[in-house]
Amino acid sequence: MKLIGSYTSPFVRKISVILLEKSLPFQLINASPWEEDPQVIAVNPLGKVPVLITGQGEPIFDSPIIAEYLELLCAEPALLPADRLQALRVRQLEALADGVTDAAMAIVRECRRQADRQNESFILYHREKIRRGLNALELAAGEGKWLNTSALSLADIAVACSLGFINFRRVMPNWCVERPALVAMAGRILARTSFARTAPPAAADVYTSEML
């Protein structure tokens, strides 16, 4: 299989981690998550990464759909419960984590603009989304029922990728304050080999001054 994207994209990282955890071989085809790339548009009309090219040459895009496809391959370990209702609970938390990531990426895009053209209200609006989302994830991680359990799940991976991106781009430097369950969970999961192998390159961290 081939995965089109870059590890600077938290959604590409999410799929890469799943592939590594399931020991599914793949080739990463580098493509920018921030600019239109002809090789991405050729397989995804929306021009967004990640795109997975299956062994049969079929393109699959949108990270939740790709994650679902990889679960259907039945490669171990399973990242969703066998019970469909329980699986839905985990997918709901995946969606919440992805929503937090979307808000963080919106802030990064805005901060790519010239300083005098940045919309402070837009940035604050999305930071509030992140705050609410992380508060909800903190409760779920503390409860330990569908998130932060003894077995790695799709929700765990999505949350860790989201927190990793927030740290990488310094979108909310104080996110860990009063969120001990998420801090402990992130420390444990981000230490896994699959996350170490998919860490975004330090050279890509070019927004430090804008994000502080």
**Model confidence over 69-84: pLDDT tens digits?**
999 999 999 999 999 9
pTM here is 0.93
CATH code for position 54: 3.40.30.10
CATH of the domain at 159: 1.20.1050.10
| Same-domain check for residues 120 and 168 | yes
User: Which H or E run includes 59?
Assistant: strand 59-61
Pair 15, 102 in one domain:
no
> In the numeric block, which tokens belong to residue 114?
């010239």
Domain encompassing residue 12: 2-72
103 shares a domain with 66: no
Whether residues 19 and 62 fall in one domain: yes
Same domain, 104 and 39: no
Per-residue model confidence as pLDDT tens digits over 13-36: 999 999 999 999 999 999 987 788
Residues 39 and 120 in one domain: no
pLDDT in single tens digits along all 212 residues of the chain: 999 999 999 999 999 999 999 999 999 999 987 788 899 999 999 999 999 999 999 999 999 999 999 999 999 999 999 999 999 999 999 999 999 999 999 999 999 999 999 999 999 999 999 999 999 999 999 999 999 999 999 999 999 999 999 999 999 989 999 999 999 999 999 999 999 999 998 755 443 323 32
